[in-house]
Amino acid sequence: MLEDFFIRALIAGLGIAIVTGPLGCFVIWRRLSYFGDTLAHSALLGVTLAYTLEFNIAISVFIISSLIALILIDLQKRTNLPGDALLGLLAHSSLAVGLVVIGFLTFIRFDIMGLLFGDILAVTINDIFIIWIGGPLILIILRLIWKPLFASTVNYELAEAEGLNPDRAKAIFTILMAGIIAISIKMVGLLLITGMLIIPAAMARNISSSPQMMVIYSVIGGLLSVILGLLTSLEFNTASGPSIIAAALFLFILSLLKIKQSIKLKN
């Protein structure tokens, strides 16, 4: 029979996939892959702070990631550096600072690999609660800001001119990104969270012709990736994060076949 820890991981993973599906579509549409990476890297700092202050990991990561996002927006206004340079700067410096802090915390035994790549054994009932409360909350908020966020993704000036307040939607979206990273870090690991966001959405793009369709396929792709990935993880004793991402990659490759077919049809 399936082990308890596996059931916990599965429930947690499915909860995450439902949220990363729609968010991932926006990450692709708005070209935010590196932004996601930056927030994820900064999460390590959040984790170390949580250990130091004996605080909840998800909340701590959420606060630090939001903070990094705010610093990024501020730096964009204040410096002439290009966006990707700023992202790299923040990503690596927060990762470095996080690792340095870990070095000081000699009294705690850290599973660095678990942090970087996820650990299904580490998922507790508590984590499941956080995922299944935080996740739907993120989805509800995303639904509320969908119109302005999507419109400004297509064209900022149209959204602004027709009174949709795109800046507010963008700010809220940034916070949602910090939120998904916070709830999924234990499961997927901070190096691979962006993969969980992008790969199912990329797979969905290959087989969709409308935004709604892409969101739905992206969710389905994420759910399948979690199931496939966790089964593999259990079977071969591999880390959960990489197994899930590898499963997502497998689905992406399958979706390429569909593109090939539709190109053939067009000719």
The CA distances from residue 108 to 51, 52, 112, 115, in Å, are 8, 9, 12, 14
Q: How far is the CB of 15 from another protein (least distance, A)?
A: 26
Q: How far is the CB of 165 from another protein (least distance, A)?
A: 10
Q: How many residues bind another protein (CB under 8 A)?
A: 24
Q: In whole angstroms, what is the distance from residue 162 CA to residue 157 CA?
A: 8
Among 214, 219, 244, 245, binds another protein (CB under 8 A): 214
Q: How far is the CB of 80 from another protein (least distance, A)?
A: 13
Query: CB under 8 A: which stretch of 26-34, 85-93, 219-227, 253-261 binds another protein?
Result: 26-34
Q: How far is the CB of 267 from another protein (least distance, A)?
A: 15
Instruction: Show the site string, 143-182: x = touches another protein by CB under 8 A, - = not.
Output: ----x--xx-xxx-xxxxxxxx------------------
Q: How far is the CB of 181 from another protein (least distance, A)?
A: 24
Nearer to another protein, 44 or 164 (CB): 164
Among 7, 11, 14, 29, binds another protein (CB under 8 A): 29
Nearer to another protein, 191 or 215 (CB): 215
Nearer to another protein, 25 or 226 (CB): 25
Nearer to another protein, 5 or 29 (CB): 29
Q: How far is the CB of 132 from another protein (least distance, A)?
A: 30
Residues that bind another protein (CB under 8 A): 28-29, 31, 147, 150-151, 153-155, 157-164, 205, 208-211, 213-214
